[in-house]
Amino acid sequence: MNFILLVKYVPDVSRITDSSFDSETGNLRRASLPGITNPEDISAISLAKRIADRKADGSDKFIALTMGPAPASKALYEALSLAADKAFHLQNSRFAGADTWATAEILTKAIKKIAREEFGDEPYAVAGGMQSCDGDTAQVLPQTAAALNLPIISYAFDGDYRDRRFHFSCIKEGGDVFLSTGEKSFVLTVSSFEYPLYPSFSRSRWARVQPHKRLTAEMIGLEGSGMSNSLTKVVKIFRPKENQRKQEHITSLKEFSELIVQSCKKKHRRESAGRFVDYKPTNSSEVWVVCEPSDKLEECTAELLAEARKLASEIGGVCCLAAFDSPDQKFAEKAARAGADKIYRLPNCGVNENRERQGRMLGELVNSKKPKIVMFSATLFGRVAAPICAYITGSGLTADCTSLHLEKKSDGGFELIQTRPALGGNIMAQIKTINSTTSMATVRPGRFTAAISDQERQCELVDFPAALVKDRDIAVESQSGSKVSDFNCDVIISAGRGLASKENFEETILPFKKVLELSCSCSAAAGASRAAVEHGFADRNLQIGQTGKTVSPSLYIAAGISGAVQHIVGIEKSSVIMSINSDPGCPIFAQSDYYYVGDAVQSLNKIRGFLESML
């Protein structure tokens, strides 16, 4: 199998400080930041090389491809140092200003040219990181897969080759799924890989003298430019609100224990936004929510229905839900009470992991009905299905939104303004859709609050016979961890890599949770960081963060968690955050109300002793 390795040179967002921003404009001084090759792209290179080595026929070609100004060549050098045989650099002023849709267009044209000239009729895989650390959209690879009309295997973290098939371990909602595909072309997105490649001295010397073939807009046949082809536009950039966390360094475990007890007394209650009042639509404009594939109305879907109903009321339109597997009358009644006026029922399209097929079926529905706004939850499903749907419908898509609002246009119409964080949460961007009739957004779960009608409601059911997408050669070999954890509780105690072992998790975190419930008369749950899950300390269904669950307890206790941006995203709505870590410089302390510097296991055991003395 041949591989095209997508690599991106990005600013190191972990090095951003106040001095990185222009004091007058608020804009980031990108030149002031050191650049790095996107870490998840390095994971993708390592995983691709691993499965190629397992195939072991020596015929594989590795081509590195990047896009950007001259400094991006450093990412190509790193790719050559690790595995790539050749390097191509998309470098042209016409590429500037491209959003994710336009970037996917450019990459697709380049990939087709490279595949044609380098591989002939041989199959190939396009591999890249799940997302880049500067944008965090996770949109470009799914949109590239849609443009190439190739199947996509997403969120992979391990892989192998045997019995003439490629096998991948991937993240799914609440667990893992194990997929396989034959020796046909596909797109692979990688979330992480435990065995990174390291360059040898001789390979690094060889890479330094290798040419990087430049590809221009003319060479790949691009019409227009990155900016003119874009479907979204940034209208405002601003700094986020200052960190409101107390950041108090507690030096006594007894005092830390007392603060836990005080915080536990503030019981968590997820409040409803109230009972909305029905209105009669004045026009046929539709605002959609795409339902999470499930046999019930998930909380994140209900949250979006409340927001969709608010937006629909502002334009006098209809609030609609698009749902798979032809939901029954009981489901429809719940959706109606949550705000839906109409449900478009799509047919069963197989296993829930077939996000590509779901995205394409949604695209067919969007092309037919032309809604004004479509919202997805920023879940594992939404982060793949939404980009595919947006690409094939030519719709502007904004990822990971934290707020939405409508602004009136000069022609009397409305446009959706979407706010999202970028650069590791160091800036906020307001974005609007351009050159497109439909605005799409993925929204972080927990940003809105579900509402309910003050009376029984009925909604219209519309069956949409979408054509089933041609079956791909992707098989589900097995699944694990299908149980979904309930994090709607007062306190969550989460473990990170600092717990060091599965035994420590089971012997420290789980007993600590029970003592919390007894001593503080509260509901509690155990959680884990992505690092803890990937090291095998905890099950996938306990993962909290951007690729896990978003939580909002009264108290969140982070034990041995360093505080990656993706984890902070998942816990930022917690009322109080307390953390324990042996590293006095770990990032999570800056996001905590109270923190203690010390060994996580020893500290928790001592705190548990204090709590047990209260029983």
Output 23 or 457, whichever has higher pLDDT: 457
d(CA 513, CA 374): 40
Q: What angle do CA 237, 134, 89 make, to 5 degrees?
A: 115
pLDDT of 26: 53
| Amino acid at position 23, single letter | S
**pLDDT-derived band at 267, boundaries 50, 70, 90:** low
What is 242-269+483-612's CATH topology? Rossmann fold (3.40.50)
C-beta separation of 369 from 144 below 8 A: no
d(CA 351, CA 479): 11
According to DSSP, the residues that pair with 431 across neighbouring strands are 234, 418
2-230 matches 275-471 in fold: yes
d(CA 356, CA 293): 13
What Rg do the C-alpha atoms of the chain give, in angstroms?
24
d(CA 235, CA 193): 36
CATH of domain 275-471: 3.40.50.620
pLDDT of 175: 80
What's the average model confidence in pLDDT over 400-421? 91
Q: Nearest-CA neighbor of 267 among 517, 495, 448, 509? A: 517
Residue 146 has pLDDT above 80, yes or no: yes
What's the average model confidence in pLDDT over 127-142? 90
pLDDT of 447: 86
What's the average model confidence in pLDDT over 528-539? 89
d(CA 139, CA 144): 9
pLDDT of 29: 66
Instruction: Please state, in angstroms and as integers, the Cα–Cα distance from residue 398 to each residue in 232, 247, 383, 434, 479, following that order.
Output: 8, 32, 11, 12, 31
d(CA 404, CA 307): 8
3-state secondary structure of 494: strand
C-beta separation of 522 from 490 below 8 A: yes
Residue 110 has pLDDT above 90, yes or no: yes
pLDDT of 327: 79
**Could you give the percent of the chain with pLDDT greater than 90?**
68
C-beta separation of 75 from 9 below 8 A: yes
What's the average model confidence in pLDDT over 108-123? 97
What's the average model confidence in pLDDT over 400-411? 91
What six digits make up the tokens of 426? Answer: 């160091």
What's the average model confidence in pLDDT over 123-151? 93
What's the average model confidence in pLDDT over 239-259? 91
| Amino acid at position 497, single letter | R
Report which secondary-structure segment, H or E, holds 37.
Answer: strand 35-37
CB atoms within 10 A of CB 310: 19
Residue 295 has pLDDT above 90, yes or no: no
C-beta separation of 189 from 129 below 8 A: yes
Q: Give residue-wise pLDDT tens across range 199-247.
A: 999 999 999 999 999 999 999 999 999 999 999 999 988 877 777 899 9
**pLDDT-derived band at 476, boundaries 50, 70, 90:** confident
In sequence order, what are the residues at sequence separation of 6 or more whose Cβ sits closer than 8 angstroms to the Cβ of residue 556?
Answer: 491, 492, 494, 571, 574, 576, 577, 578
Q: Tell me the whole-structure pTM to 2 decimals.
A: 0.89
Q: Give residue-wise pLDDT tens across range 80-96.
A: 999 999 999 999 999 99
What is 2-230's CATH topology? Rossmann fold (3.40.50)
Q: Assign residue 246 a region: left if phi > 0, alpha if psi is -120 to 50, beta otherwise? A: alpha
Q: Nearest-CA neighbor of 356 among 141, 188, 152? A: 152
First-last CA distance in the chain:
62
Average pLDDT value for the chain: 90
pLDDT of 70: 94
Concatenating the DSSP letter of every residue in 135-186 gives T----HHHHHHHHHT--EEEEEEEEEEETTEEEEEEEETTEEEEEEE-SS-E
d(CA 128, CA 156): 10
pLDDT of 468: 64
Domain ranges of the chain: 2-230, 242-269+483-612, 275-471
